[in-house]
Every structure is written in structure tokens, then in C-alpha cells.
């Protein structure tokens, strides 16, 4: 599969023009980014005389530095939030398992952890599956 960079720019009328950075003679447009990329995939396949499935387009929107910085910050924050969610889930699973090992009921564990007893059940089920797969 060959990868190309699809450079996207929004025109004054709202349409998106797109060209391949590697071959600027291949260009098209669309009312939306998705439409522009679909048309670019078709155009690139015709230009390089290949099947669309053998082409991978990497969208590269051309935006202001301020917009790009804001987008980068938002993506980093999203990644940090996902990581924090993963860590919180692991810690809740360990806490639920510890309470269960001490003989504390799911309803009481739920009250201690501040979650529903159904969620405690899910955490314990997930934790036991993880231990079965690694053990």
C-alpha cells in the first residue's frame, strides 16, 4: 500500500480543495473533507493507474498556527484523559477485588467505592477474566 499526504485547504466559498503533496498535479475538491478525500482517492487511483484499495491518504489540513496549536492541545488532553480513565479503571478493579477478598459484599463495596453494585460486579468480572488470561 502506498501512502500519500492529502493537503486540504478550505476555500472562501467553503469548499475544500485537496492535492497530493507528493504529486501536486493530482488535485480535486469537495463540499466536505470526506467528499474531498473520497474524490482524491479516486483521482489518485486513476493518476497512478492502480486500485483505490492500494492507496492510503493521510489528511493534512492547512490551518492557522493558532488553530493547529489548539487542535494539538485538544488531542493531547484527550490522550491524557484516556490514559487517566485507563488508570482509574485499573485502580477501581484492584480496589473492588481487594474488598471482595476481604469478604465485603458487592453492595457494601459499592457504597465504599461510590459506584453501583452492578459496576462492582462488572469490575470483578473484568478483573477475574484478566487474571485468567495472564495466569
pLDDT tens figures, 29-55: 999 999 999 999 999 999 999 999 999
| Residue in this structure with the C-alpha cell 490514559, named with its chain if needed | 83
In contact, 124 and 107? CB cutoff 8 Å: no
In angstroms, the first-to-last Cα distance of the chain is 39
CATH of domain 2-62: 3.30.2390.10
Q: Write out pLDDT tens, residues 81-114.
A: 999 999 999 999 999 999 999 999 999 999 999 9
Per-domain residue ranges of the chain: 2-62, 82-134
Percentage with pLDDT > 70 across the chain: 93
119: nearest Cα among 128, 130, 110, 108? 110
pLDDT above 70 (res 135): no
Coil/strand/helix, residue 50? coil
What is this structure's pTM? 0.64
In contact, 33 and 87? CB cutoff 8 Å: no
Amino acid at each position: 500500500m502506498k501512502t500519500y499526504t492529502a493537503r486540504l485547504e478550505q476555500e472562501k466559498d467553503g469548499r475544500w480543495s485537496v492535492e497530493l503533496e507528493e504529486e501536486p498535479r493530482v488535485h480535486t475538491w469537495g463540499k466536505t473533507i470526506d467528499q474531498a478525500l473520497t474524490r482524491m482517492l479516486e483521482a489518485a487511483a486513476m493518476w497512478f493507474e492502480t486500485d483505490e484499495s492500494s492507496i492510503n491518504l493521510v489528511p493534512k489540513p492547512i490551518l492557522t498556527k493558532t488553530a493547529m496549536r489548539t487542535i494539538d492541545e485538544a488531542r493531547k488532553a484527550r490522550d491524557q484523559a484516556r490514559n487517566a480513565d485507563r488508570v482509574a479503571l485499573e485502580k477501581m478493579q484492584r480496589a473492588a477485588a481487594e474488598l471482595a477478598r476481604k469478604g465485603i459484599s458487592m453492595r457494601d463495596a459499592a457504597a465504599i467505592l461510590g459506584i453501583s453494585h452492578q459496576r462492582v460486579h462488572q469490575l470483578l468480572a473484568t478483573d477475574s477474566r484478566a487474571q485468567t488470561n495472564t495466569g
